Amino acid sequence: MADAAMLSSMPKTLIFTKLDSEADRILDALAARTGLACRDGGGRRIFEMEGQPASIDALGELEDIDPSWSEHVRLENNPQRVD
C-alpha cells in the first residue's frame, strides 16, 4: 500500500506515461477498480483525482493489479519520484 506521506501529497491528477504493451492492461484495470475518470492521450493517460474520496488508493490498487506496474507505466507527477 502507498504510505501516508504519499497519500497526503497526492496530486489532483495522476499522469501516467505508457512504457510498453502492458501499460493499457494495467491502466484499464486501475480505471475499472477505482472508477476514476480518465482520458487517454496516446502515450499517456491522465486520471482525475480531484473531488474523489480520499480513501481511493490508486497506487495501492496498482500494486494489487501488478506488483511490477512501475516497469510498465511511469507516474509523471509522483511527488516522491527521483529523476
Compute the average pLDDT of residues 21-33.
96
Residue closest to 18 by CA, chosen among 68, 61, 74: 74
Give the residue with greater pLDDT, 56 vs 68.
68
Q: Is the entire prediction scored with pTM above 0.85?
A: no
Residue 70 inside a domain? The answer is yes
Q: Cell 482525475, residue? A: 48
Q: Which of 20-29, 46-55, 56-65 has the highest mean pLDDT?
A: 20-29
Helical H segments across 1-83, by residue range: 4-8, 23-34, 58-65
Structure confidence at residue 82 (pLDDT): 54
Residue 82 inside a domain? The answer is no
Indicate the number of domains in the chain.
1
Structure confidence at residue 60 (pLDDT): 93
Residue 47 inside a domain? The answer is yes
Residue 33 inside a domain? The answer is yes
DSSP 8-state class, residue 53: -
d(CA 51, CA 43): 25
Give the residue with greater pLDDT, 56 vs 76.
76
* Domain limits for position 43: 4-75
Residue 44 inside a domain? The answer is yes
- Identify the CATH number of the domain in which residue 59 sits: 3.30.70
Residue 81 has pLDDT above 60, yes or no: no
Residue 80 inside a domain? The answer is no
